[in-house]
Amino acid sequence: MIKVGIFGATGYTGVELMRLLSKHEKVKIEYISSQSYAGKSIADVYPSLTGFYDISLDDVEVEKAVSKCDVVFTALPAGYASKIAREAVKKGVKVIDLGADFRFDDYSTYKEWYGGEYDGYDGIKRAYGLPEIYRDSIKEADVVGNPGCYPTSVILGLVPLLKEKVIEGSIIIDSKSGISGAGHSPSQKNIYAECNENIRAYNVANHRHVPEMVQELSKASGEKVSVVFAPHLTPMTRGILSTMYCKLRENLTQEEIYDIFAEFYKNEYFVKVLKPGTYPATKNVYGSNFCHIGFEVDKATGTLVVMTAIDNLVKGASGQAIQNMNIMFEIEEKAGLDIVPVYP
């Protein structure tokens, strides 16, 4: 039985971890923390968990968590996970960070986009936690930096094309996210009156996820890839739909593009390549760890339009984190995640 701790259990990604892990037969949650709700039962904070967990929230106590757990998930703001990871790694405890602290190959990129100071990655066996690309390095890692939700949707849709050298030039990315992507804490941008019957762009070309996308897409391409990224907040709870506009190097048919995706993901359970003419929709992956990929070729302009859909809280965060845990502990990768999407 894998003993699990969750730092930040009352945020959206934390409670989603608990929902998914409740049916994981090889996991027992031993520690959960919350600065806002310390001392309360998790079921009192989230009645949806009533009958599934009888466990109280602690304040952040790293030594206590490390002493009780085999792996800890850190669902915390940037800068906190690095401190926890140092202590955990010393004691042989695995860390899966759902924040940004361990996503970058170059620590200076993290400092530039997220600010703050800590002692970097020296001495930590780290992996970028996108299983479909980095399964082998995840298996050997002590610390996994779980990808961001937008980058997950973008990277899965573009890596096969970049590896096969079928697209060139700058890539335009239009992504639309549900309100839960804005986090649990209330603010003007996520209250009902601001979000209902409204869709708006934010942080265009300057979103913190841009360097993460560029890092991973450039590695797939073998040369620097440039992107223009426009995220939007939409009036739905969950889901990300990303639409990517790419210039084709040569004329390729719909069938040829399909074959590239199908071959690349032929052994990947959680990535579904849709038949030509079928487009992804967030409702078709709701509550699941799946990514759906669709595409269209605009012959008039030589543009390939790639579309992906994920649930931002599952494949975009907590589900992918559990997928990474399963890989690290060499158990069935689908364990706790083999869930049919909720529809309608």
Distances (CA, A) of 114 to 206, 216, 257, 317: 12, 18, 37, 19
Structure tokens at 302: 């030589």
Q: Cβ of 87: how many Cβ atoms within 10 Å?
A: 15
Q: How many CA atoms lie within 13 A of 210 on its CB side?
A: 18
* Catalytically annotated residue among 149, 195, 246, 291: 149
Residue 195 catalytic?
Answer: no
* Burial class for 196, CB neighbours closer than 10 Å (0-12, 13-18, 19+): exposed
Query: What is the DSSP code string of 56-105?
Result: BPBP--HHHHHHH-SEEEE---TTSHHHHHHHHHHTT-EEEESSSTT--S
- Please name which of 202, 182, 212 lies closest in space to residue 112, comparing C-alpha atoms: 212
In degrees and rounded to multiples of 5, residue 206 shows phi and psi of -140, 25
Nearest Cα residue to 314 out of 242, 238, 243, 244? 238
Sign (positive/negative) of CA torsion 171, 176, 180, 185? positive
- Which residue, among 312, 263, 266, has the nearest Cα to 289 in the 3D structure? 312
Residue 154: its H or E element = helix 149-163
Indicate which residues carry an active-site annotation.
149
